[in-house]
């Protein structure tokens, strides 16, 4: 297990994680870390331990907005947000996505491209919303009409 993990780490992006000094600047600047039990620092720490699976199963991956705040502040120059993206891919390849429904948006997106060759924001939004029970249905509907009115959904 350990060996294959190391192999995975090195074949993919992630050797960079070893230079992290765990200063925590990424987490303290992260706008979404409060939503998750894992901070980006922790994800990187898992990688330093070689725990690729734990890292890939972190729900934080799917929260990351790729805002790059972490990457910009990192004193060691670790490209954290691209590591997060790589981990998403590994998780998907290995079937480690937790929970599975996190993938629904991405799957819909890909399928739509495959089918039509382009994205319709309207369909994508609807499909994503219908895939799981919306947490804020009323607000979503209000937002939907607002967006529609301004021509933001096509």
* Interacting residues toward other proteins by CB under 8 A: 21-30, 33-34, 39, 41-42, 69-70, 73-77
Provide, rounded to whole angstroms, the least separation between the CB of residue 30 and other proteins: 8
- CB nearer other proteins, residue 28 or residue 111: 28
Torsion of CA 101, 82, 74, 19, to 10 degrees: 110
- CB nearer other proteins, residue 23 or residue 148: 23
End-to-end CA distance of the chain: 47
Provide, rounded to whole angstroms, the least separation between the CB of residue 71 and other proteins: 11
- CB nearer other proteins, residue 76 or residue 123: 76
Provide, rounded to whole angstroms, the least separation between the CB of residue 26 and other proteins: 7
Provide, rounded to whole angstroms, the least separation between the CB of residue 102 and other proteins: 22
The DSSP symbol for 63 reads H
Q: Is 122 exposed, middle or buried (0-12, 13-18, 19+ CB in 10 A)?
A: middle
Region for 49 from its dihedrals, namely left if φ exceeds 0, alpha if ψ lies in -120 to 50, beta otherwise: alpha
């Amino acid at each position: 297990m350990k060996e294959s993990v190391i192999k995975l780490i090195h074949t993919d992006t992630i050797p960079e994680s070893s230079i992290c000094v765990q200063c925590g600047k990424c987490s303290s600047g992260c706008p979404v870390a409060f939503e998750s039990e894992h901070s980006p620092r922790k994800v990187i720490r898992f990688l330093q331990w070689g725990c690729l699976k734990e890292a890939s199963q972190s729900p934080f991956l799917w929260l990351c907005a790729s805002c790059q705040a972490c990457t910009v502040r990192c004193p060691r120059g670790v490209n954290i947000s691209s590591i997060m993206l790589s981990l998403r891919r590994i998780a998907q390849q290995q079937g480690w996505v937790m929970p599975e429904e996190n993938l629904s948006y991405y799957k819909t997106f890909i399928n739509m491209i495959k089918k039509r060759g382009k994205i319709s924001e309207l369909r994508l939004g609807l499909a994503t919303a219908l895939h799981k029970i919306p947490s804020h249905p009323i607000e979503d509907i209000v937002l939907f009409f607002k967006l529609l009115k301004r021509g933001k959904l096509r």
